[in-house]
Structures are given as structure tokens and as C-alpha cells.
Structure 1
Amino acid sequence: MRTTTRTRRSRSALAAGAGASTLALLLAACGGGGDGGDGGDGGGGDAAAESYEIDCSKYEQFGDIEGTTVHVYTTIVDPEGAAHQASYEPFTECTGVEIEYEASREQEAQLPVRIQAGDPPDIAIVNQPGLLQTLVRQYDAVLPAPEPVVAEVDANFSPDWKEYGTVDGTFYAAPYDANVKSFVWYSPSMFEEAGYEVPQTWDELMQLSQQIADDAKSGEVAMPWCAGIESGDATGWPGTDFIEDMVLRTAGPDVYDQWYTHEIPFNDPQVAEAWDAAGSILKNPDFVNAGLGEVDSIATTPWTDAGFGIRDGACWMHRAANFYQAQWPEGTEVAEDGDVWAFYLPAQTTDEKPTLVAGPFIAAFADRPEVQAFQTYLASADWANAKAVATPAGGWVSANQNLDPELLATDFDRLVYATLTDEATVARYDASDLMPSEVGAGTFWTGIVDWLTGAETKQVLDQIESSWPQS
């Protein structure tokens, strides 16, 4: 899909800054989104995003760029792509720069091909830091971020997020949007009726799981957990998320960093301890797989459907990322007093908040002033706010600390944002996306399947370690 986002209003109609009247306009524009719903980064916010006024003076430093075009290449296809294009409109209104938007599900495979052919896009939205590192180290193709982008990132993002756009000490790519994976989905009404409390620590979570399991044995309730990792050719990835969360909780962020960079081996005892901690849930026949089968059924249950038992009382808890909200059947109310909600997957204590995150980054392959101006816009709070307005159905969040959370469409999106920007949060990017692809998208995935279908932890970790590339 290749389209061009074009100016629809005269730029002279825009104010130099966004004041109280703009905020009122934004809140009114967001009103149609409502709370709850089935999530999803949907379209429908085009007119609202166009109406969002930004500080046009910020782009005067790039000179006269009116009439130029910036080509953006991404995996974000319609209907989600429509909201992203709508969020670019305020920039076009300000600058006169047209955004040519090309979306393809094959982007990750095709981008290196186009680079080698001498036909890269101006900007690519790359989905993982691992791909960014490949484009920098193997192809020497990505340009370091210009100073205006650096200034925006320093002002709007935590150092953790800047680090994931950095390769070998050079900062290349600003964060785009973000996901939080450290959530447990549940039914608020089921918890209330049973007298169960949302756990605040890992020990409390295990105590709750055991309490539910004991109640299940007496026939009072269903088993505590439901899980599924089947995902076609990518089967296993949801299980890697669970392991990564546990490495953060049992070994800590520093060991996590050493693990994905291979400063310690994949089969280090600290990593094995994390796998066994995950196994205390995922391989415990008293805890899983509620309404779906035995432990090994986790390997064949589609990740998209695995949590559905919460809706009909067959399951109590399901660990999944914020984007699982888009998987709930139509009509599901995602709200603190609705059909489903989520709580933070607790750490060892309430004083720590290690959080597994993911999200794409903005890589530039051209240094023309209009490209640098658009990079600057995408790293700004202006873009984050415009994108929130352009997504009235919800399901989209940024780690931009200056995003106005009141512009997010749902209470759950605001919960995700609060987690991302909490001062206690220590964010770590999805390790499998940072490891060599032979491991992160290969033996780690298949190892999870083997582990859930009977293999011992040591056997699996030794096998994955042996697959790590030697150079």
C-alpha cells in the first residue's frame, strides 16, 4: 500500500502554539472513543488529528521545505495505517511537506534488499532494535539522529528508551510507539465475587494461584491460569515473553542485560532459575491449562484465544501484553469494573517495577532538511498527542513522557501509559528481539515448545546456548 498524506487546510489557519482552546478541541475530538471496547489501533481520527495545532515555529530551523516529500516505509497497514497517516497531518499543515506512506507486511525482509539496491526509503519505522542494529552494523545505512531529534528524545523519553535506539554508542533512532508486556488479565467481577485480591508481589501471586487451585479441587471454581503460545511460524514467542519477565524479576535488570548480550551464557544458573520460576505456573498441572487441556496444550493453543476463558469463568488469569486488548471478542468491556481488566505482573517487592516493553523506532536514510524536520516531529509530544487523537478506538500508547494521557482513548491505555512513565518502572526491551535471530526468533521459540511438552529446563537451555552464533 502506497499513499500520500496531503494538506487539507491552509497552514495560515494554524496558531503558533497550542493553548487552552486547543486542549478543549482535542478533548472534544477524543470524546467519541469512549472507554473499554475491544481496543485496536484503529482509524477514524483523521479530521480530529488535522485539527490538532502544533508549534509551527519549531520547524523554521529547517528552512523553506514547502512542496517537498518524505517517503515513509512501515509494516503498519490499514486500518491501523489510516490513524498513523492522520497523525502526520499537523506536520504537513505546518510545513507543506507531503508524507508518502508505504506499508507492507514484508517490510522487514524487503528493507535490506532495497538498501542494497540503492533505493532505501527516507524513513523506515523498524519494529525492533535488533533490526536497527543490523541496518547499522551490516549495511552502514542508517544516519545518526540529527541534533533536533536528540533534543526531543532527551526532553520526552527516559534514558532506557534512548538506549534502545543507540548502536555502538551512537544514537540513531527515536522511539515511535510502545507496548507493555508485563500484564495479567483477569475478570474484576469474578475476583470480587470470590473474595480474591489483586496480588502486589510475586509471593502473593503464587499464594493466590494456589488458593484458586485449592478451590478448584473442591469444585468451587475453575483452575487459575490459561495460556497459549501457538502462533503459526512464530509459535513460542508468547512463552519467551513470560521467561523474559521472570529473568527481570528473579535475576534483575543487570543480569537481564548480560543475558541478551551474551555476556553470560543462555544456560547461566540465574537464567535457569527464572525458567523454573515461570515453570512454577506454566508447568504446574494444578495451575494450567484452565479449560484448555493439560500442560502440553499450551504449545498448541493459539495465543490469540488463550485468554477467552476469562469471559466465561473457565479461567482466572492470563499473562499477556497490553495489545491483547484487541483480541477480546467483540462486545467485551475492557474496564476496571468491566468484563476484563489487567494488573501489573508483580515483582518480588512493591518497591521495584521491572517492566518488559517493546516498540518500533524511527530510522532515517536521508539527511535532507524535510526528512530531519519530520524525524523531529515524530519524536515530539506534538506527534504523540496527535496520534492519540487520531486513535479514538484506543489500543495505542507511547512512552513519550510529555504525552497528555487525557487524550488517550481508554482507561486501559491510560493504565499502560502510567506504567510506562512511572518513576519506579525499570523498562527492558523484549530480549528475544535483541538476541541474534537464530536464537531470539529460532531456538528460543522452539525451546519453549520443547520445554512445555516435556523437556527439562537444563536440556532446553543447553540446546539454546549451543545455537548461539560464534561470531
Structure 2
Amino acid sequence: MMRRRTTLLTSCTALALALGATACGGGPVSAGGGDKALSGQTVTVAGVWSGSEQKNFQKVLDAFTAKTGAKTQFVSTGDNVSTVVGSKIEGGNAPDVVMVPQVGVLDQFAEKGWLKPLSPTARQTISADYAPVWKKYGSVDGTLYGLYFKAAHKSTVWYGPDALAQAGVKPPKTYDEMLKAGHTVSDSGLAAFAVAGQDGWTLTDWFENIYLSQAGPQKYDALAAHKLKWTDPSVVKALTTLGKLFKDKQLIAGGRQEALNTDFPSSVEKVFGPKPEAGMVYEGDFVAGVAHDQFGRTIGKDADFFPFPAVDGGTAPVVSGGDAAVVLKDGKNATAGMKLLEYLASPEAAAVWAKAGGFLSPNKKLDPASYGDDVSRAIAKSLVGAGDSVRFDMSDQAPAAFGGTKGAGEWKLLQDFLRDPSDPKGTAAQLESAAAKAYQG
């Protein structure tokens, strides 16, 4: 994502970035206090990040090294964090810290007895500086194991300002207005939406936003925990609402079959590439990074977003995801690993990546000026401002067999629904059958 250089950082934030050491208005944070107390030690960190994300996280790790003297080593796991970390533990080569991208995986790690509870310092910081919902998603059976360092805002709809301007429409406030605006965009010569149906996870995100707004947070929580069956009328209603979009040939670029052959980067290209085919694409804040890095779009000028709109009179949804830092018991340097986690909990650590771009923090104490552009600040404000109404990505809370496996479970069944959206009730029954097996397992 493009970042304008921020010239008006507060002196405190600028000093913290320059020194990588002292918290604003007080003494040093507990990660070593800048006295190189961890010199000679190495902290190994495992996570899914690669490319620009890994490069930017390395800047955070380098700031930790400058602060404490501890060296760091990052190991990219690929998408299957659970398998890779499990094999490293079995081989006696466990990392000290793991950045866990799914609530379900954090639960799994805790149940296996792999995790150290967070230190009193980390717990105190999280209680003070984060909305309680982030503490909830980092805890298992009342014990706090995970710090959500990097978050995603999955309730953003991205659009080409020229496409909407030429169609004479403004960003909508309701779901029905969004579909109506989509028809107007379509009438002007572009399809309304690019849909990345080849990647099943994008379809789960569509469903979750509709369901959270339409059914409300209590039912969302119950469905996420499988305390509510997928055959519940609220699920059928949400699928019916999503099916209205899927059925409408005017609204989806290339129709349903082309959507099933479109992956996430290609969906962004259909809106922000050299030959736009659609006016809008729904996905998280990370759309901006692809639009800028791959297609040279200036965020806020020729690529912008509006919040996912409210459905059927409900509250506009704020669905999030995130990467939680956890400390493994079997790591060779778990004590220094916990010091890294305490540092990651600080606004100074978040500011390093916020300045680099492609990052959102749920930390309420992070100065918004740390973000490099107005769009990022607006997204961060929406995420932090939602407080406890934020809900974590439902599929990420589910067992991987249901909510996180290509060609299986929810991903496949929603792809099947995109292919043929004529039977929401039948799809709900199939989802319940798959969920029951996965949650029982």
C-alpha cells in the first residue's frame, strides 16, 4: 500500500521510532528498557508472513534488537502453521514465538499444552490498551495466551472512484443500496463486483458480514462456537441474501463461472488493473496493498473504500482477523520470547510497522499519526472505534477441517453455492453436516 511520508508525527512518537526504546510520557517498557539486557540471546519467531509483510515485520524485530540487544530469527511457515510448528516441536527445534493467524489454531495449541500463559506485564498492557474482545480471542478457558499484534479489517468494500463517479452513484449506506448502486454501475458499462470465488475464504467473508449485520452478534457468536446449528433460519436468511447477489448476472464480473475461476489478486485486478472490468471488490483492508503494489493505484485518490453496509436494518458489521503472538513452552529461549511479546504489546512496536504500511493495530494507544495516509487512519479508527462490537472472522474460529481447508468444508460448500445459489436451505443443511463432523473431531 502506498504511504505518504508523515511529517507531523508527534515528537514523542518520532523519538520512540528513532530510539526504539522509551514509552511516551513514562519509563521504559519491560522489553529491556534500552539497556541491552538481552544481549547474546536469540529469539526465534515463526509466522505465515512472506514478501513485504515479512520485510516490514523484520523492521519491528530490528527495533526490538536495538532496544534489548537480543537477536531475532524469523521462520516463514507458509499457510499451515499448525503442522509446521507441531513438527518443529516434535523435532526438538521449537520456535520461541509463533504468530498465529487463526483463533482455532491458538485454541488447538493451548489444548495441546504448547503455550506459556502471558506474563503479568503483557496481561496488564492488553487489559489497559486493547478492547476486551481482543483479550477474549487471545484466551482459552480463561487463561490469556495470545497478543493480537496485527489485525485485519474485513468489512471494507473497495472501489474505483472514477467508476462510481461516472455512474453517478455515491458509496451506499445499506446492503440494498449497494446492490442498487451496483446495477447503476453495470448500466454504465462495468460489472458491479469482482468476486474471488476461486478462493473459498473470500466467500466465507461475504457470508460473515451479512450474517453479523442481519442476525446480530449473539447469534454470530453462537454459530461460530457451533452452539447454533447451520440449519437455523438465520443462516438460511443470510444465504438467501447472499444468493441475491450471486444470482444477478448484472452484478458479477463475467458471471458466476468466471467468479469461480477468479482468485483474490485477480479480483483486485478486475477493479484496479490496467483494464478495469468491475467497479467494486469486497475484501479486507489488504486490498489496498495489492491495488498499490501490483497496479500502482494511489490509495485515497484512485482506490478507496466504504464500510460494508448494514443489512436489513441491522448495525453495519465490523469483522476482523488477526495474528496473535504466542510463546511456546518448548522454545529454547522462551523467557526472551516473552520479552519480545511484551514489546509487541507496546504502541512503539505497532508504530514501526504502521509507518511502513500494510498494517493495522488494535492497540488503542497507537498514535493515528503513525499511519502514513488518511485511508489507513480511517480504517484503523473504524476498527479501534468498534470496541467490543468487533467480531473475529468466523471461519478462523472454526476447526480447520470446516473453516480453513481448500476444497473442503465451508470453503467448498460456499463455492458450490456460488455455482448454484438456488437452494439456500439445502446449502445450510450441507454446512451443518460438515460443521458437526469437524467440531466433533
TM-score relative to the length of structure 1: 0.81
Deviation at 1:22? 4.6
The residue that corresponds to 1:354 in the other structure is 317
Q: How many corresponding residue pairs? A: 414
Deviation at 1:425? 7.2
2:195 to 227, 230, 233: 227
Give structure 2 stretches of 5+ with no counterpart. Answer: 1-8
The residue that corresponds to 1:245 in the other structure is 209
Say if 1:423 and 1:126 are closer, same or farther in 2 by CA, change over 3 A. Answer: closer
Deviation at 1:155? 1.9
Write the deviation string for residues 186-233 of structure 1: whole angstroms up to 9, x where unpaired: 1212322332111122232233234445xx2xxx43332221221xxx
Give structure 1 stretches of 5+ with no counterpart. Answer: 1-18, 27-48
Matches within 5 A, 1:63-78: 64-78=37-51
Write the deviation string for residues 35-72 of structure 1: whole angstroms up to 9, x where unpaired: xxxxxxxxxxxxxx564442463328899544322221
Say if 1:202 and 1:60 are closer, same or farther in 2 by CA, change over 3 A. Answer: closer
Say if 1:92 and 1:332 are closer, same or farther in 2 by CA, change over 3 A. Answer: closer
Matches within 5 A, 1:170-185: 170-185=143-158
2:84 to 100, 110, 120: 110
1:59 to 30, 52, 67: 30
The residue that corresponds to 1:160 in the other structure is 133
Query: Structure 1 CA distance, aligned partners of 2:239 and 2:88?
Result: 40
- Structure 2 contact 361–380 (Cα < 8 Å) conserved: yes
Query: Structure 1 CA distance, aligned partners of 2:383 and 2:432?
Result: 32
- Structure 1 contact 65–95 (Cα < 8 Å) conserved: yes
1:272 to 236, 249, 252: 236
The residue that corresponds to 1:187 in the other structure is 160
- Structure 1 contact 334–412 (Cα < 8 Å) conserved: no
Deviation at 1:74? 1.8
* 2:91 is equivalent to residue 125 of structure 1: no
Say if 1:429 and 1:87 are closer, same or farther in 2 by CA, change over 3 A. Answer: same
One-letter identity of the residue aligned with 1:466: S
Query: Structure 2 CA distance, aligned partners of 1:87 and 1:50?
Result: 12
Say if 1:294 and 1:395 are closer, same or farther in 2 by CA, change over 3 A. Answer: same
The residue that corresponds to 2:4 in the other structure is none
The residue that corresponds to 1:144 in the other structure is 117
One-letter identity of the residue aligned with 1:388: A
- Structure 1 contact 253–354 (Cα < 8 Å) conserved: no
Deviation at 1:349? 7.9
Higher gyration radius (CA): 1
Write the deviation string for residues 307-366 of structure 1: whole angstroms up to 9, x where unpaired: 333344532221111112232274532333x22211111114898342111111011114
Deviation at 1:287? 1.9
Matches within 5 A, 1:251-262: 251-262=215-226
- Structure 1 contact 143–172 (Cα < 8 Å) conserved: yes
Structure 1 window deviating more from structure 2 (376-385 vs 346-355): it is 346-355
Matches within 5 A, 1:204-223: 204-213=177-186, 216=187, 220-223=188-191
Query: Structure 1 CA distance, aligned partners of 2:13 and 2:104?
Result: 38
Secondary structure of 2:425's partner? Answer: helix
* 2:197 is equivalent to residue 236 of structure 1: no
- Structure 1 contact 229–298 (Cα < 8 Å) conserved: yes
One-letter identity of the residue aligned with 1:192: A
The residue that corresponds to 2:413 in the other structure is 447
Query: Structure 2 CA distance, aligned partners of 1:121 and 1:109?
Result: 13
* 2:397 is equivalent to residue 431 of structure 1: no
Say if 1:117 and 1:313 are closer, same or farther in 2 by CA, change over 3 A. Answer: closer
Say if 1:278 and 1:128 are closer, same or farther in 2 by CA, change over 3 A. Answer: same
Deviation at 1:131? 0.7
Matches within 5 A, 1:313-324: 313-324=276-287
Secondary structure of 1:175's partner? Answer: strand
Secondary structure of 1:221's partner? Answer: coil
The residue that corresponds to 1:83 in the other structure is 56
Query: Structure 2 CA distance, aligned partners of 1:142 and 1:112?
Result: 12
2:296 to 332, 342, 348: 332
Query: Structure 1 CA distance, aligned partners of 2:106 and 2:13?
Result: 35
- Structure 1 contact 354–425 (Cα < 8 Å) conserved: no
- Structure 1 contact 190–313 (Cα < 8 Å) conserved: no
Structure 1 window deviating more from structure 2 (204-213 vs 378-387): it is 204-213
One-letter identity of the residue aligned with 2:348: D
Write the deviation string for residues 66-124 of structure 1: whole angstroms up to 9, x where unpaired: 43222212222344323212212333233222223222325432101222344322111
Say if 1:250 and 1:221 are closer, same or farther in 2 by CA, change over 3 A. Answer: same
One-letter identity of the residue aligned with 1:77: S
Secondary structure of 2:266's partner? Answer: coil
Write the deviation string for residues 156-203 of structure 1: whole angstroms up to 9, x where unpaired: 211111111111221111102011111111121232233211112223
Write the deviation string for residues 383-435 of structure 1: whole angstroms up to 9, x where unpaired: 1112223x1xx212211111122121233322221121124772111111111
The residue that corresponds to 1:36 in the other structure is none
Say if 1:308 and 1:65 are closer, same or farther in 2 by CA, change over 3 A. Answer: closer
- Structure 1 contact 66–97 (Cα < 8 Å) conserved: yes
Query: Structure 1 CA distance, aligned partners of 2:314 and 2:409?
Result: 34
Query: Structure 2 CA distance, aligned partners of 1:409 and 1:267?
Result: 45
Query: Structure 1 CA distance, aligned partners of 2:151 and 2:46?
Result: 18
- Structure 1 contact 22–53 (Cα < 8 Å) conserved: no
1:294 to 255, 263, 282: 255
One-letter identity of the residue aligned with 1:299: L
One-letter identity of the residue aligned with 1:222: L
Secondary structure of 1:306's partner? Answer: helix
The residue that corresponds to 2:429 in the other structure is 462
- Structure 2 contact 360–380 (Cα < 8 Å) conserved: yes
